Amino acid sequence: MDKKRRDRIQLPPGFDLAGPGAPEPMRLPTPQHAPEPAAATDAPVPPPTHSPSEVPAPESATVGCPSRRRRGVLWFLWRMLLGLIRLALTAALVMGLIGGASYFIVKSYVGGPEVQVPNVLGVTVEEALEKAKTANLFLELDRREFSEAVGRGNIMAQAPAPGVKVKQRTPIRIVVSDGSVRVRVPNVVGLTEIKAGVAVRSVPNADLDIAEPVARAYSPTVKRGDVIAQDPPAGVPIIRGARIKILVSLGPYPADYNMPDLRHRTVQEARAVLGAMQLTLGEVREVERPGAARGVILDHHPGPGSRVSPGAAIALTIASGLEPAPQP
């Protein structure tokens, strides 16, 4: 037991805490004026005082010192600050590399020697590409326009102008011609309807076609199915995408006849008359007619005196002959 404990414990006389053979304990000098013992009272006894070297460690030291916790927080903040500094340095390094690469790329395009812009007016796009490639330039299509002076597919305008000095890899903006806004109408008169449509649609870069519906008319001189006339006429300039009207022949005018009277004739006689007039026998219907002989024509359509054309069908009404004639 330590000295503090022995000082605070009162031992009986003759009792040695160390036991036999223990070394003689060091004794403190006896004070000259020993204080009288205090009277027993109900007041609380103050805790014993200790020397500065004997002050017990505070209870909080066993749990966690505030200064130690403060140092832990400061260490954590320091580590976080170092991490942020490393992140900022890494980002700055990456951005520097990107900026340097961009600088050299831009310098390779913007800087460098100057070249003279070639003249690509009036040539095809393929020829212009070769010229631009030779000068270390490239083409860039601006738009397409109709032109009466420049053929379809050729270049009608460029920027920068020919002869201007520019940096290498500079684009040359071009305007390509779509050809004339008008085309010539082909001649389709005398062609068949099918061949006329093929001829109209075959005009290059014109988008022409035959107007619908197609008009038709009889013609004593133009064969059936051939084109009699067209609108607009052949050779007239017409806007791209227009439609051409044509008139197709139905052949010669048909010969009209006055329908003869076939009543009271037999079907065989009517067939002979109709054949001579290029008419055909149509429907034959039987009806009962008192006193009429079987097979006799009672009526027909078209009727007698009507105008008929070759190929028309004539319907007949004949007597069945089943009802006897009335007695006088």
pLDDT digit string, tens, across residues 241-297:
899 999 999 998 777 888 999 999 999 999 988 988 889 999 999 999 888 888 999
- Note the pLDDT of residue 29: 52
Task: Give a yes or no: residue 1 inside a domain.
Answer: no
Percent of the chain with pLDDT over 90: 40
Domain count for the chain, please give it: 3
Q: Are residues 238 and 206 in the same domain?
A: yes
Last residue of some domain: 159, 177, 195? 177
Cβ atoms within 10 Å of 319's Cβ, excluding its own: 19
Last residue of some domain: 143, 158, 177? 177
Question: Hey, is 70 helix, strand or coil?
Answer: helix
* CATH number assigned to the domain comprising residue 232: 3.30.10.20
pTM across the whole model: 0.38
Task: Give a yes or no: residue 13 inside a domain.
Answer: no
Task: Give a yes or no: residue 108 inside a domain.
Answer: no
Last residue of some domain: 131, 154, 177? 177
Q: Are residues 239 and 266 in the same domain?
A: no
Cβ atoms within 10 Å of 206's Cβ, excluding its own: 21
Q: How confident is the model at residue 155 (pLDDT cuts 50, 70, 90)?
A: very high
Task: Give a yes or no: residue 206 inside a domain.
Answer: yes
- The closest alpha carbon to 175, from 225, 219, 141, belongs to 141
Task: Estimate to the nearest angstrom the gap between the alpha carbon of 72 and the chain centroid.
Answer: 60
Task: Give a yes or no: residue 130 inside a domain.
Answer: yes
Task: Give a yes or no: residue 279 inside a domain.
Answer: yes
pLDDT digits (tens, 9 = 90+) for 200-247: 999 988 889 999 999 999 898 999 999 999 999 999 988 888 999 999
Domain that holds residue 215: 183-249
Task: Estimate to the nearest angstrom the gap between the alpha carbon of 126 and the chain centroid.
Answer: 29
